[in-house]
Structure 1
Amino acid sequence: MGTTDDVLSQSQVDAALAGLPDWRYRLGGLVSVFKAPTSAAALELVAAVGLAAEQQDHHPDLDWRYNRVFVRYSSHDAGGQVTPRDTAAAAAASEAAARLGATAEPGLHRTVEVGIDTEDPAAISEVWRVALGYRRGSSGDLTDPYGRGPALWFQETSTPNANRLHLDIHRSKAESAPALEKTAATGALMNHDHAPDWVVVTDAQGNRLCLCTEEGHGPELPKA
């Protein structure tokens, strides 16, 4: 079992990632995607990662999609942060992928959160928690206990936007530039005031989303 004393600092995570080129940091975890030569090879990779997880007693979130395997490691018993167990497990998963001829495509791993503007989070959060079947996090955010749905967080503000809900789409900073360029090319309004932490995108009808990187989390969105 881990403790919060095991949690790696950001500089320690950065140092570890220098030796883990297949992996990126994302919201308290290490993430990657591996593309296998065939769907059967991808399933073998799932089995290999699962076997290592049993041996290490440290289990990732795994998602098998035809010939791609999405993986996320985080130490839930250490507050949902990165510990040495995660970096060791990530290294082992990369080794298993290499043996099976799978290549890393970490840029494909995106994380989506839903943000809600509200003057009083306590007045509404329980409705969302119960309806979604989520659990409450340490910062008041709501998360799917099975890791299937997007997390939900409440942006407390005395001036809620007319569109109270927005999406936060998290990519690593290393892969964010193409997404920003392609989004800008659609004609959306791009607010770079808080880049590279996040860029606020507004469509032609005033709906907003944030393209976020590991530099920032939980953006305070500018008000219209």
Structure 2
Amino acid sequence: MAATDDVLSRSRIDAALAGLPDWRYRLGGLVTVYKAPTPAAALELIAAVGRVADEQNHHPDLDWRYTRVFLRYSSHDAGDEVTPRDVAAAGAASAAAAGLGAAAEPGLYRTVEVAIDSADPAAIAGLWRVALGYRKGRYGSLVDPFGRGPALWFQQTSAPNANRLHLDVHRSAAESGPVLEKTAATGALMNRDHAPGWVVVTDVQGNRFCLATEEGHGPDLPSG
């Protein structure tokens, strides 16, 4: 079991990522997407990642979509944070991908959270956890133990918005520019008060969501 002392600070994560160009930091994990030349090559990559996982006794969240393989490493036994094991595993996965001719497309990896405004999150979190079959995650969030559904977190506020539910859509800062431009071009209201950490988007009917990045909040602060 990993000790919390193994958790990497944001500066150490950034230093590690300088040597892992295929990867991005995201909400307590390292993420990327690899596009293989063929579906068969994608399966070979999955098998290679599986072998590395067994050797290192550290397993990723993995999703296969045709020629693309989505990967996320996080140390759940260290509070869902990044540790040196994640860095080592990401490096090994990159080597396996390179050997199979798979190209990194980290900008494709987006993470969606459902956020609920609440003056008293503790009063409602238990109900949502039981109903969804989730477990407690970072900073009071609720997460799918199998990594299938979106995370749920409670934004504590003394004055909840009339529309209490909104989405937080996380992308890497390096790839967020075009998305922000295209979103603004639709005529949506763009509140950039917290940029580059997040931009609050409101549609013409008053529904909100946040386009968030890893900038402005690291392993010590949630977004939104």
Structure 1 length as normaliser, TM-score? 0.95
Describe the shift of the 1:86–1:201 C-alpha distance in structure 2 as closer, same or farther (beyond 3 A): same
Aligned to 2:15: 15
Q: Does 1:37 align with 2:15?
A: no
Residue identity in the other structure for 1:23: W
Residue identity in the other structure for 2:95: E
Instruction: Judge which range, 105-114 or 75-84, deviates more.
Output: 75-84
Q: Does 1:71 align with 2:71?
A: yes
Structure 1 stretches lacking a partner, 5+ long: none
Check whether the contact 2:80–2:138 (CA below 8 A) recurs between aligned residues: no
How many Å separate the matches in 2 of 1:52 and 1:137?
Answer: 26
Q: Does 1:142 align with 2:152?
A: no
Check whether the contact 2:139–2:222 (CA below 8 A) recurs between aligned residues: no
Aligned to 1:55: 55
Residue identity in the other structure for 2:55: Q
Q: CA deviation at 1:138?
A: 5.0
Q: CA deviation at 1:10?
A: 0.9
Residue identity in the other structure for 2:10: Q
Q: CA deviation at 1:172?
A: 0.8
Q: CA deviation at 1:129?
A: 1.0
How many Å separate the matches in 1 of 2:108 and 2:137?
Answer: 26
Kindly report which structure 2 residues correspond to 1:1-224, keeping only aligned pairs within 5 A, or say none: 1-137=1-137, 139-215=139-215, 216=217, 218-219=222-223
Q: Deviation string for 1:95-130 (max 9, x for gaps)?
A: 100111100000000001011011111221122111
Instruction: Judge which range, 105-114 or 1-10, deviates more.
Output: 1-10
Q: What secondary structure, in the 3-state scheme, does the structure 2 residue paired with 1:168 have?
A: strand
Q: What secondary structure, in the 3-state scheme, does the structure 1 residue paired with 2:140 have?
A: coil
Q: CA deviation at 1:219?
A: 4.1
Structure 2 length as normaliser, TM-score? 0.95
Residue identity in the other structure for 2:142: L
Describe the shift of the 1:210–1:42 C-alpha distance in structure 2 as closer, same or farther (beyond 3 A): same
Structure 2 stretches lacking a partner, 5+ long: none
Q: What secondary structure, in the 3-state scheme, does the structure 1 residue paired with 2:139 have?
A: coil
* Identity, % of aligned positions: 76
Q: Deviation string for 1:136-193 (max 9, x for gaps)?
A: 2352211111111111111111211111000000011111101100111111000000
Instruction: Judge which range, 199-208 or 155-164, deviates more.
Output: 155-164
Check whether the contact 2:80–2:137 (CA below 8 A) recurs between aligned residues: no
Check whether the contact 2:45–2:100 (CA below 8 A) recurs between aligned residues: yes
Q: CA deviation at 1:88?
A: 0.8
Q: What secondary structure, in the 3-state scheme, does the structure 2 residue paired with 1:139 have?
A: helix
Between Structure 1 and Structure 2, how many residues are aligned? 220
Q: What secondary structure, in the 3-state scheme, does the structure 1 residue paired with 2:101 have?
A: coil
* CA RMSD between the two structures: 1.1
Q: Deviation string for 1:174-216 (max 9, x for gaps)?
A: 1110110011111100000000000000000000000000123
How many Å separate the matches in 2 of 1:30 and 1:70?
Answer: 11
